[in-house]
Amino acid sequence: MPSNYATGPNEAEITHNDGSDIDMEGDDSFLYSSGNEGCEEDDYLDYDEEDDAQYSNTRHSITAASSQTAGGTQLYSEDYYEEDDEYDYPVLNEVGKPKLQEILDSTSFSFTELVTKRQDSKIQEISTLFSLPIDIIEIFLRKYKWKHEKLIEDYMDNPEGTFKKTGVPYLNPTGPPPSSSSSITTTTTTISGEFDPHLPTPSISLKVLAPSSNSSSSSSTSVALNTRRKSKQAANSDEGLVCQICMDECTDENPAIVSSQSCSHLFCRDCWTGYLMNKFIEENESWNISCPGFRCDIPICTPYNMSLISNGGKNTDLDKLYLRARVWNYIKQNKHIAFCVHEGCGCVVECNDYNSTLQFPIPIVTCRENHVFCIRCEVANTHLPCPCYLAQAWRDKCTNDSETVNYIAANTKECPSCKETIEKNGGCNHMTCRKCKHEWCWICKGPWSEHGQNYYNCTRFNESESQAARDATSESRRELERYLHYNNHFVNHELSIKKTAKLHITIKHQIQEMQRADDSVSFHDCQFLTEAVDVLRDCRETLMWSFVLAYYMDRSVTGKSDNQAEIFEQNQVNLNFHVEELANMIENTKPQKIHSLKMEIMTKIGYVRTRRETLLKDTLESLQKDVWSFRNSDNIQFGDGKNTLQNIQKPDTSAVARKSMANASP
Amino acid sequence: MDVIRNRRLLKELKAFKKNPPSNFKILHANNIHRWIVEMTCANNTIYQGEKYKLEVRFSESYPTEAPEVVFIKPAPINPHIYSNGHICISILSIEWTPALTTEALLVSILSMMSDCKKKKRPQGDEDYSRRAGPSPRGTKWDFHDGNV
């Protein structure tokens, strides 16, 4: 293999085994076990007694009101009430929402450790550099998509601007960075340690407020915070704190937690948990969650805050979801790390020399399960030797219009005068263009004036006018044919590749048959056939994409590159020829004969393999030297060298980008 | 989920009954997950004196998820309200947070209507009303600005 495209396996490539480190079965009920179910019943009853009479009154008066307006438009009929329960309003929340258990099951927690460690060390490093709490650094890094160089640069230039940009309330870096703990599960001791008045309190940190003044402080957290509350909010101590979500008073077990000093929104721990779980499960994000207060943009999700909400790691589900979202965020934002794109494969692959391969744009990686894919396109299989942007352009082109193009090529002709595409659906050969009124002959494309009365027979195919007219229209038609030509090659190879699995089975049967016929043939002796199928597949894939490259290659512009292009084409033709020969050998030979052909096939395999490598190496070299220019006909955005690569971004699968909006019409 | 929803709805309902916001009256909430509210439009606006009915439906994930609010036909004529009763207001979808209450929602709708200077239906109203299902949740809303 040439060394200028990267192949795994690499260090971050860790396969998910069986998730045995998560044991959460039968734990579904944790969600909202606030222990107050009985209370709900009571409330219901009370309410009914109080207000039932009032309701029936209301109902009565409405009925009267609507009958008053009966002459005009009746607002809504009385049955509207009666059919209350049968009324068929849409069932919400039933469809399409992922279940918690499914999410946790599908997450590989084995690689999370590694990623987390890396995240933490980066955060710690910058925290020391800036003298800021790690929580703030974490939010910075998320907003900077984990590009720490950019963050450091920006921060050094304009610290306040960085705070503003990331939505963190400004905090003057003073003293040493607090809490050297970089692990997610911050212990209770470090929580209270954070509130040491000598250390800067991160203004984005949550604060626990104890529910009532005489509360027996159950944990050291409450002790530390109780004092704080007393000094600050003595006025509120009589009323008890009411959560803004569930509107219940907060208790010792379910204490109130305030978003931040600047917004002072207050919610109970259960509601915080519910809010965050919902965000994690449905939006799968950890970087963009803000305070639940209306139009409040204070970022919430930091390790410290999470440990406070999950009560120092007691709520393991919440912690795991957070960890998962945090790691996913990191992976999605880092271009050189990716999940394996093959279905059901939980591997994470890192392309270590992604940056060096940026010079050459095909970062192909292999995961531990031997799945091959391009880490930039995030599409299964390789597209060597075609650069990513061309491959992407081709895929788009094929999905958009290959069928239409086929139809146009088969059924239409172009008006010789205005080039409008015309379909002839009956009648004689005398065509009159709707658009430009040009009259022409469908058969020879010459002007109709020469044809006279020959409506159904054209005898003028070789006359000079007809010839000229055909030449003119063929220019645009040629483009189509060119596309179809390459597309045909591409599709043919693609189909053959799809049949590889089937071929494998056929080969297996053949081997068995051979062994039955001749005892001296061992299983090992026949492995060359399996190998041949694999080589065939690889070669077809390379050929497939080499046709794409050929389609986009612009031979007319660069005179200097002609030689290279020639070599490329020769290589392609040669490989194509021998691949087909090999395929023929395998598929069309009788099982009895195959064994005698062993030597021949083995030689062919070796030859084809070297041809493929030569083609790849040669093409990659030419691409790197930038000797070819590519056609712009499909409006592919590319310049030269590196710009090319920046234009093709990794597909952004992150959650819905939020826009700031006011109320208005759709 | 259900426990939280019911407890909170009862509290909201009680608060609503105790201090009813001016311009709003709960007509019907026997099914606590579905309220019918009457709105009296504010004075000194183009809707002065008009009364409309709103249906508020609370899904199981309330208050994490916003309730569905639609006008019961006939819906008021407003550039943000479709004739099938659907309301295009960001607070009902992307701007909803569990810290908001139904009362706040209703007041926002009233204030949106009060800001309106000219009675007209939104663009493509006929088309949308024919196409849309009963629930506005199936629609992907796009919010522009409040000045229309």
* pLDDT tens figures, A140-184: 888 887 888 888 888 888 888 888 887 777 766 654 434 433 333
A203 neighbors A260 (Cβ within 8 angstroms): yes
Stretch A208-219: mean pLDDT: 42
- A310 and A436 in a single domain? The answer is no
Say whether both A144 and A272 belong to one domain.
Answer: yes
Domain boundaries, chain B: 2-126
Please check whether residue A383 lies inside any domain of the structure: no
Interface check A254 vs B, CB under 8 A: no
Residues of chain B with Cβ-Cβ distance to A62 below 8 Å are 27-28
Same domain, A224 and A306: yes
Helix (H, G, I), strand (E, B) or coil at A359: coil
Average pLDDT over residues A338-348: 78
The tens digit of pLDDT for each residue in A550-600 reads 888 877 665 555 677 888 888 888 998 998 888 888 877 666 666 677 888
Asked if the bond preceding A202 is cis, omega within 30° of 0, the reply is no
DSSP state of A109: -
Question: B21 to chain A, minimum CA–CA distance in Å?
Answer: 17
Q: Residue B53: list chain A partners with CB under 8 A.
A: 75-76
Tokens matching residue A626? 């930038």
How would DSSP label each residue in B53-83?
A: EEEEE--TTTTTSPPEEEEPSSPP-BTTB-T
Whether residue A584 sits in one domain with residue A484: no
ipTM for the whole complex: 0.81
d(CA A440, CA A452) in angstroms, rounded, equals 11
Closest CA to A27 of A344, A320, A324: A320
Answer yes or no: do A422 and A512 share one domain: no
Domain co-membership, A507 together with A616: yes
How distant is the Cα of A59 from the closest Cα of chain B, in angstroms?
7
Give the DSSP H or E segment for A413. Answer: strand A412-414
A289 and A426 housed in the same domain? no
Is A265 close to B104, i.e. CB distance below 8 A?
Answer: no
Regarding predicted confidence, which is higher, A232 or A487? A487
Distance CA B94, CA B86 (A): 16
* Interchain CB distance below 8 Å, B88 and A665: yes
On whether both A549 and A641 belong to a single domain, the answer is yes
Domain harbouring A605, CATH code = 1.20.120.1750
Burial class of A57 by CB neighbour count within 10 A (0 to 12, 13 to 18, 19+): exposed
Question: Of residues A281 and B142, which shows the higher confidence score?
Answer: A281
Q: Which tens digit of pLDDT belongs to each residue from A614-644?
A: 888 888 888 777 777 777 544 444 433 333 3
Catalytic residue list of B: 88
3-state secondary structure of A277: helix
Verify that A153 and A298 share a domain, yes or no. Answer: yes
pLDDT tens, residue by residue, A290-323: 888 888 877 777 777 777 888 777 777 888 888 8
A25 occurs within a structural domain: no
| B contacts of A38 (beta carbons < 8 Å) | none
In this structure, the answer to whether residues A603 and A476 fall within a common structural domain is no
Provide the residue count of chain B.
Answer: 148
Residues A132 and A278 in one domain: yes
Q: Are B12 and A32 an interchain contact pair (Cβ–Cβ within 8 Å)?
A: no
Residues of A whose CB is below 8 A from B100: 294
> Residue A44: its chain B contacts at CB < 8 A?
6, 10
Asked if B95 lies within 8 A of A295 by C-beta distance, the reply is yes
Q: Spell out the residues 6+ positions from residue A666 whose beta carbon is closer than 8 angstroms to its own.
A: B88, B122, B128, B139, B141, B142, B143
Name all contacts of A645-648 with Cβ < 8 Å and 24+ positions apart.
A645/A358, A645/A361, A645/A376, A645/A388, A645/A389, A647/A389, A648/A361, A648/A376, A648/A377, A648/A388, A648/A389, A648/A392
**Is the link from the previous residue into B76 a cis peptide, with omega within 30 of 0?**
no
- Residue contact A44–B10, C-beta within 8 A: yes
Question: Could you tell me the CA-to-CA distances from A297 to A198, A213, A263, A386, A664 in Å, in that order?
Answer: 28, 31, 9, 44, 21
Instruction: Identify which of B6, B59, B99 has the shortest CB distance to residue A40.
Output: B6
Q: List all residues 6 or more positions away from B139 whose beta carbon is below 8 Å from its beta carbon.
A: A666, B86, B128, B132
- B106 or A401, which is more confident: B106
Q: Are A277 and A101 in contact (CB under 8 A)?
A: no
Domain stops at, among A461, A488, A515: A488
pLDDT, averaged across chain A? 66
Q: Range of A527's domain?
A: 499-654
Write down the pLDDT at residue A565.
82
pLDDT at A632: 59
Q: Is the CB of A295 inside 8 Å of chain B's CB atoms?
A: yes
- What phi-psi label fits residue A38: left (phi over 0), alpha (psi between -120 and 50 degrees) or beta? alpha
Angle CA(A260)–CA(B106)–CA(B29) in degrees, nearest 5? 110
Nearest chain A CA: its distance from B63 CA (Å)? 7
Beta strands in A213-276 (DSSP E): 256-258, 266-268
Nearest to A663 among B90, B100, B133 (CB): B90
DSSP character at residue A303: H
Decide: helix, strand or coil at residue A264. coil
For residue A467, what are its two tokens?
């010839």
Residue with tokens 């006008």: B71
pLDDT confidence of residue A26: 37
Domain presence at residue A451: yes
Chosen for mutation from B1, B2, B4 (greatest number of chain A CBs closer than 10 Å) is B4
CATH: 1.10.1060.10, 3.10.110.10, 3.40.50.2300, 1.10.10.10. Which one for B2-126?
3.10.110.10
Question: Which among B60, B123, B148 has CB closest to A93?
Answer: B60
Comparing C-alpha atoms, which of A377, A290, A283 is closest to residue A324? A283
- Per-residue pLDDT tens listing for chain B (148 residues): 578 888 888 888 888 888 888 889 888 888 889 999 999 998 888 998 899 999 999 988 888 888 999 999 888 999 889 888 999 888 888 888 888 889 889 999 999 999 888 888 888 888 888 888 788 877 777 776 555 4
Residue A60: closest CA among chain B residues belongs to which residue? B27
The count of other CB atoms within 10 Å of the CB of residue A194 is 21
CB within 8 Å of chain A, chain B residues 75-134: 79-80, 88-91, 94-95, 97-100, 104, 108, 112, 122-123, 128, 133-134
Query: Which of the residues A86, A267, A660, A665 would you substitute to probe the B interface, choosing the one with the greatest number of B C-beta atoms within 10 Å?
Result: A665
* Long-range pairs for A417-420: beta carbons < 8 A, 24 or more residues apart: A419/A473, A419/A476
User: What's the confidence (pLDDT) of residue A250?
Assistant: 80
**Catalytic pick among A39, A418, A428, A436:** A428
Q: How far is A497 from A502, CA to CA, in rounded Å?
A: 10
| Structural contact between residues A340 and A347, judged by C-beta atoms closer than 8 angstroms | yes
pLDDT of residue A291: 84
Contact B148/A at CB under 8 A: yes
pLDDT at A126 over 50: yes
Cis peptide before A159 (omega within 30 of 0): no
Task: Give the number of domains in chain A.
Answer: 3
pLDDT of residue B53: 92
Do the beta carbons of residue A138 and residue A164 sit within 8 Å?
A: no
**Cα–Cα distance for residue pair A498/A505, rounded to 1 Å:** 13
Contact between B98 and A92 using a beta-carbon 8 Å cutoff: no
* Helix, strand, coil in percent for chain A, rounding step 5: 50, 5, 40
Indicate if A524 and A627 belong to the same structural domain: yes
Instruction: Please state the rounded mean pLDDT for residues A235-261.
Output: 72
Pairing assessment for the beta strands B51-57 and A337-339 based on DSSP bridges: unpaired
Helix (H, G, I), strand (E, B) or coil at A49: helix
| A-proximal residues of B, 26-85, CB under 8 Å | 26-31, 34, 53, 57, 59-61, 63-65, 68, 72-74, 79-80
Query: How big is the A-B interface in CB pairs under 8 Å?
Result: 153
Residue of B nearest to A267 (CA): B99
Q: Residue A430 is inside which H or E element, if any?
A: strand A430-432
Question: Looking at residue A286, what is its pLDDT?
Answer: 67
